[in-house]
Amino acid sequence: MTALRVRGIVLPDRVERTFWIDGDRIGTEPLPGAETVVDGGWLLPGLVDAHTHPGSTGPGHPFDDGVLRDDLGAHRDAGVLLVRTPGSAGRIPKWVDDDPDLPRVRSAGRWLATPGRFFPGWGRDVTEADLVEAAVEEAAASSGWCKVIGDWLPDDPAVPLSVLTAVVEAVHAIGGKVAVHCQTAEGTRNAVEAGVDSLEHGLNLDPALVDRMAAQGTALVPTLGAFGDMAERGRPVRGWDAHFGTVGAALEAGVTVLAGTDSRPCGTVAAEVGWLIRAGLGVEAAVGAASWTAREWLGVPGLVEGAPADLVAYDRDPTVDPSVLGSPGRVVLRGRVVG
């Protein structure tokens, strides 16, 4: 593999730096004979979609390796070089980690759905009595995450607080983390009070809970675009009118707010950044929610010595003109130019 040289203004620091890449890690020591592949412009750590479900074409459809490859390829082509899959119809196979052409994946295994709280059979159906054991199994078999469907229909009861609390305690005991789908007031409250690691969607979240979220490190992935698109098509979305305000209040309280699309086609996290800006996040915070902030939260370093060699380069500053996020000038993944 040919060594690479990359020079540009690194965001969010706004300092011009030069990196040398030999293999799958970023270095700062010059490498003789390196090929210059970026010479100027703005550099970001690879973009991140913190809530995407590659591998299945829709509710009830089977998990398919071919669809998974195509979906991850669409992410890569958009500069999304790290994805988090909080639940899917099947476990992400090992070959994904070994494929140099595909983004890195942090997986939560299969969705964990208790009776009446998800599309039947799309994921892993378990009873409330078996939820703790299943959560530990999925976390251990994936990237350390598990995903619980905490509520479903608006007027139906959520997974009880005592059950969710037991899940969180058991998964944390093995070093794992818990993501919870929640869209109702009861579901979001139970998730926050149980101490989950991430609130997925968070519609109808009581703003009085955001200080607790910040204190215990519960992140919010509001998936604004998925619901906003429905609302703009005239489909009722309970809690949508207050969602923007809640996201802003969460960020102000110090909650980590992340960009996640939760919809097809894959590779559209730039549009989610736009929704976060509409919700009141500053442009830099919104871009960070899909790049350096998300990477830090997932425990993956950005553009520093020894970090994974994943970066995107732009001709214009995306924190000034976020519209450029969807059109990277250069994409380097795992130390190779892929776009």
Mean pLDDT of 88-95: 95
Mean pLDDT of 16-34: 96
Mean pLDDT of 212-232: 96
Q: How confident is the model at residue 1 (pLDDT cuts 50, 70, 90)?
A: confident
3-state SS, one letter per residue, for 203-266: CCCCHHHHHHHHHHCCEEECCHHHHHHHHHCCCCCCCHHHHHHHHHHHHHHCCCECCCCCCCCC
Domain 4-45+301-337 -> CATH class: mainly beta
What is the predicted pLDDT for the residue at 224? 98
123-135 residue pLDDT tens? 999 999 999 999 9
Q: Report the CATH number of the 47-290 domain.
A: 3.20.20.140
Instruction: Give the CA distances from residue 28 to residues 17, 45, 295, 304, 331, in Å, rounded to whole numbers and listed in that order.
Output: 9, 15, 20, 8, 19
Mean pLDDT of 87-106: 96
What is the predicted pLDDT for the residue at 87? 95
Mean pLDDT of 319-323: 96
- Indicate the residue type of 114: T
Q: Where are the domains of the chain?
A: 4-45+301-337, 47-290
Q: How confident is the model at residue 25 (pLDDT cuts 50, 70, 90)?
A: very high
Q: How confident is the model at residue 2 (pLDDT cuts 50, 70, 90)?
A: confident
275-300 residue pLDDT tens? 999 999 999 999 999 999 999 999 99
